[in-house]
Amino acid sequence: MPHVVTQSCCSDASCMVACPVNCIHPGPTEDGFSTSSMVFIDPATCVDCGACVTACPVDAIKPHGKLTPAELPFLEINARYFDDNPHLIRSVLAPVHPRRALRNDASRLRVAIVGSGPAGMYAADEILRYPGATVDVYERLDKPYGLARYGVAPDHQRTRKIHNQFDVIASQPGFQLHLGIEVGIDITHEQLAAGYTAVIYTVGAPNDRKLDIPGEGLPGSMSATGFVGWYNGHPDFCDIDVNLDHERVVVIGNGNVALDVARILTADPESLAKTDIAPAALDRLRQSKVREVVLLGRRGPAEAAFTLPELVGLGALTDVDVVVENHSESISCDTQVGAALSSIAGRPAREVDRRIVLRFRSAPARILGNERVEGIEVQRTHLVNDNGKIRATATDETTVLEAGMVLRSIGFYGRPVDDLPFDEQTGTVPNTAGRVVPGTYVAGWIKRGPTGFLGTNRTCAQETVATLVADLEGYR
Ligand code: NAP
């Protein structure tokens, strides 16, 4: 009986280091690692030792015999990855990463990290692998861990366990956390650059993208980022205007954040009460009149931005009906996402009072309302192949959906950092393998843009720290 990865895991590769037979893929050096929403265990080579279970920071791995009915699809998902990737070398001993030593004086490695989210914590861990190194992490909020604290949905308690891994990183000798210090206000880049061997910015992509459509500024129209911050108790979003007095909420976009907010809006508040959701948000959700959340994807099912594990989790909800509309008449089952969507689309309606509607080929035209949001006008789109990229173009077929709240969940955008260059197009700080200029570095979303999973930041931070060390040692 093999072990099985059962969720969109953190992908930080801890399990691969622990595995004695190298049966977990894709690894950091393999194709697809940076884009895969999870890692997979090869049932043919797993020796069922359970080492990966102990190493996994988010409790994502289970022995086959302990899968719940909702997790059973992951048995097939894990196995199919290896059927689809027969080139993978199986059963070679996993690499062990030794502690490293600098060629030059190790005590020179004194690094300031700005931001204590996943990229900052993984960068700190990488630096502290060098004996004698020290790290000072500066965080503007009064609690650490950034998106791992304020971005993970409260019904994903296993993913939130990544905090424990960050606590272990923070407990290492040489690690210092400075909370409530905002770089640019309380301390300048110049001061940091003068006081440390190097400065790494891991400040994420805190801004949300805008739709630029009429009505976007109405009360009740807001970013999913703000809504996620609200239910997670982020101090910047505690007081936002959340209107749950209407039966319908419309979410624009169909990425994993859109699925998160749809699940929280339709969840049984008593199940959320068992989580660490912000108490004020729980009180409001207990009085919520919301019965339907509609997710608008401007393109088709094949182009949906959510990932397979998240979709499987959505389909497994028992107290919410999930409905697929406008799916271009047929959904291709060639991909695992297509097969999962098709199975959801084909099942009979459930006798429950809350539902999530996945609507495709539907773009927002304008948000309607006088004093506040009352609805949204939606344009049907058709898809065109533009040099291999599938784009949505609007048709003149429109519909109006009444709604009390419209959440745009269309991705994040970086905020410029004082004294550093900024690329307006991508919302990132231009860099080469993490180097902005020698002595100043970036990692995480401010380096590569708002994509990937918590653990993607480990490989991203590893690359940045390798660049930093190479600069310090004088070789490129
Ligand atoms: P995302 O995955 O980039 O999805 C953005 C969505 O917005 C897409 O559906 C996109 O459609 C749509 N969109 C963009 N501009 C639009 C416009 N002008 N009008 C209509 N729709 C528009 O972003 P995200 O959901 O914020 O997630 C960010 C990252 O965090 C992702 O890598 C995600 O996987 C990760 N994340 C992971 C988890 C998890 O693993 N559980 C949870 C949350 C977030 P097009 O595709 O047509 O552009």
Nearest to 311 by CA among 2, 7, 39: 7
Q: How many angstroms separate the CA atoms of 372 and 243, rounded?
A: 10
Using an 8 Å Cβ cutoff, are 355 and 344 in contact? no
- Residue recorded with tokens 């891991």: 202
Q: Residue of the nearest CA to atom 2 in ligand 1?
A: 255
- Residues 406, 412, 414: CA angle, nearest 5 degrees: 140
Give the Å distance between the CA of 239 and the centre of ligand 1: 25
Q: Is 148 in the pocket of ligand 1 (CB under 6 A)?
A: no
pLDDT of residue 326: 65
The string over 321-340, giving b where at least 16 C-beta atoms fall within 10 Å of a residue's C-beta and e elsewhere, is: bbbbebbeeebeeeebbbbb
Sign of the four-CA dihedral 61, 82, 15, 36: negative
Backbone angles phi, psi at 122, to 5 degrees: -70, -35
Dig out the tokens for 470 from the structure: 């190479």
The segments of the chain whose pLDDT lies below 70 read 1, 89-107, 326-330, 475-476
pTM of the model: 0.91
Q: Is 450 in the pocket of ligand 1 (CB under 6 A)?
A: yes
Q: How many angstroms separate the CA atoms of 334 and 467, rounded?
A: 40
Give the Å distance between the CA of 354 and the centre of ligand 1: 23
- Give the helix/strand (H/E) hosting 406: strand 405-408
The best mutation among 232, 257, 260 to test binding of ligand 1, ranked by most ligand atoms within 8 Å of the C-beta, falls on 257
CA–centroid distance for 6 within its chain: 17
| Contact residues for 242 (Cβ-Cβ < 8 A; gap 6+) | 227, 230, 281, 284, 405
DSSP one-letter code for 93: P
Alpha carbon of 220 to those of 21, 198, 206: distances in Å?
53, 43, 20
Other C-beta atoms within 10 Å of 217: how many?
Answer: 8
Give the Å distance between the CA of 356 and the centre of ligand 1: 17
Q: Residue of the nearest CA to atom 13 in ligand 1?
A: 410
pLDDT of residue 330: 59
The best mutation among 157, 256, 294, 385 to test binding of ligand 1, ranked by most ligand atoms within 8 Å of the C-beta, falls on 256
Q: How many angstroms separate the CA atoms of 282 and 184, rounded?
A: 35
Q: Residue of the nearest CA to atom 18 in ligand 1?
A: 211
Q: Is 299 in the pocket of ligand 1 (CB under 6 A)?
A: yes
Q: Is 411 in the pocket of ligand 1 (CB under 6 A)?
A: yes
Q: How many angstroms separate the CA atoms of 141 and 460, rounded?
A: 23
Give the Å distance between the CA of 22 and the centre of ligand 1: 32
Q: Is 301 in the pocket of ligand 1 (CB under 6 A)?
A: no
Give the Å distance between the CA of 135 and the centre of ligand 1: 33
Which residue type occupies 36?
A: S
Q: Residue of the nearest CA to atom 36 in ligand 1?
A: 256
Q: Is 259 in the pocket of ligand 1 (CB under 6 A)?
A: no
pLDDT of residue 263: 98
pLDDT of residue 105: 57
CA–centroid distance for 208 within its chain: 14
Give the Å distance between the CA of 305 and the centre of ligand 1: 6
Using an 8 Å Cβ cutoff, are 363 and 298 in contact? yes
Using an 8 Å Cβ cutoff, are 42 and 23 in contact? yes
Sign of the four-CA dihedral 299, 357, 335, 52: positive
Q: Which atom of ligand 1 is nearest to the CA of 224?
A: 26
- Give the helix/strand (H/E) hosting 148: helix 146-150
Q: Is 300 in the pocket of ligand 1 (CB under 6 A)?
A: no
